Amino acid sequence: MLVDVWTYSGGGSRTIAIDKHGDIYIQVEAAPYNLEKIDSDGNKIWTHVVDYMSLNDFATDSNGYSYLVGRTPALITRIDPDGNRVQVWDDVNEEYIDWEYDLTDSKNCCVIDSNGDCICAGSGGEHVKKVDINRNKVWGLSLNFTSRGMAIDLNNNTFVGIGSTVYKILADGTQDWSYTFTDDPASAGLAVDSDGSVFSGIELNKVNKLDSSGSLEWTYTEDTAGVSTRAMAIAVNTDDLIYVGWDAQRVNKLDKSGNQIWYHVLGGSNNVRSIAVVPHVIYAGSFNDKTHKVFEAITGAFYRKTNTGWVRLQAQRLDDSGLSNEWVNHQPSRII
């Protein structure tokens, strides 16, 4: 059973991330693409006004610290959980300054590794670049074309979709493998599971699964009655089940073998641009600048919030009364 819980109209179409407290970070689909933080009930906590650059993408870690990457100027900057720019000490001028790193070239997307370092990808001589938490460049890698999507696995290996090719880059910046799709260019949808397999959304209604060695394992084709659609956003939950956001406000869930479990049509008429999941909750952002929260009541493990933390309950099926926060596990399955 799928239940539409709320729709937040303040923004959220470009990127969605979730911290360990269950708060949601969204990027508004209007220049300069401000960053907003909302709680799990859909209430705005703060807006970080990005009036110092045009924001292309952001990534948020489990503690609520975010990296913002953009163009004009091409910067990385760091935001704290309260929505303020992180300050660092400048030994030369003996004063605190904003945490910034000059990228030289525009970057379109970014991820955060387990060390809190930022890996970003885009255009320029070094299409993929890693910058550590102390504002030092760790490595840069020159590939081809402009990146369209990124994901990172549990071992800090990065996956980048550039043109019609998906690249796997090891934690030390070495390219491991690449796979080129011959039928369609890769779209922005990219995600990785706990085994290191990567899911890439492409044109003509398809999602492909590549194993950890870069071999094609399966292709899922969305049945849209002959209408072309794209897998714009992909997320993977703790059970390695796949959630895909498509054009026309459609979200579906696939099993590990690429079979559809269900599909759900959100309100509105615009395509799904971003998606993030925690157990039994799906957040989807759309081009019409709305963020949707959908509750998935299924048979499985559920959690109850107590004074000492989250307690696992026996397997059961929740009805609509289970929509209260005390029955939802707010621990994130993965930072997207």
CB 25 within 8 A of CB 55: no
Domain boundaries, given as residue ranges, for the chain: 9-294
Mean pLDDT, residues 133-145: 88
Whether the bond between 73 and the residue before it is cis, its omega within 30 degrees of 0, is yes
CB 191 within 8 A of CB 198: yes
Kindly tell me if the per-residue pLDDT of 313 is higher than 50: no
CB 16 within 8 A of CB 24: yes
- Domain 9-294: CATH superfamily is YVTN repeat-like/Quinoprotein amine dehydrogenase (2.130.10.10)
Kindly tell me if the per-residue pLDDT of 137 is higher than 60: yes
Q: Per residue in 10-65, pLDDT tens?
A: 665 678 899 999 999 998 877 667 899 999 999 999 999 998 888 888 999 999 99
What is the dihedral angle through the alpha carbons of 127, 132, 133, 134, rounded to the nearest 10 degrees? -120
Closest C-alpha to 289, from 16, 19, 2: 16
Residue that is written with structure tokens 């060390």 in the block: 115
How confident is the model at residue 336, as a pLDDT? 29
User: CA dist 192 to 44, 101, 155, Å?
Assistant: 30, 27, 11
Phi, psi (deg, nearest 5) at residue 106: -65, 140
Kindly tell me if the per-residue pLDDT of 2 is higher than 60: yes
Whether the bond between 332 and the residue before it is cis, its omega within 30 degrees of 0, is no
CB 48 within 8 A of CB 34: yes
Q: Per residue in 254-294, pLDDT tens?
A: 999 999 999 888 766 567 888 899 888 888 887 666 788 88
Kindly tell me if the per-residue pLDDT of 106 is higher than 80: yes
Extract the tokens encoding 37.
Answer: 């933080």
How far is Cα 244 from Cα 17, in angstroms, rounded to an integer?
A: 15
Kindly tell me if the per-residue pLDDT of 312 is higher than 50: no
Phi, psi (deg, nearest 5) at residue 321: -70, -10
How far is Cα 140 from Cα 84, in angstroms, rounded to an integer?
A: 28
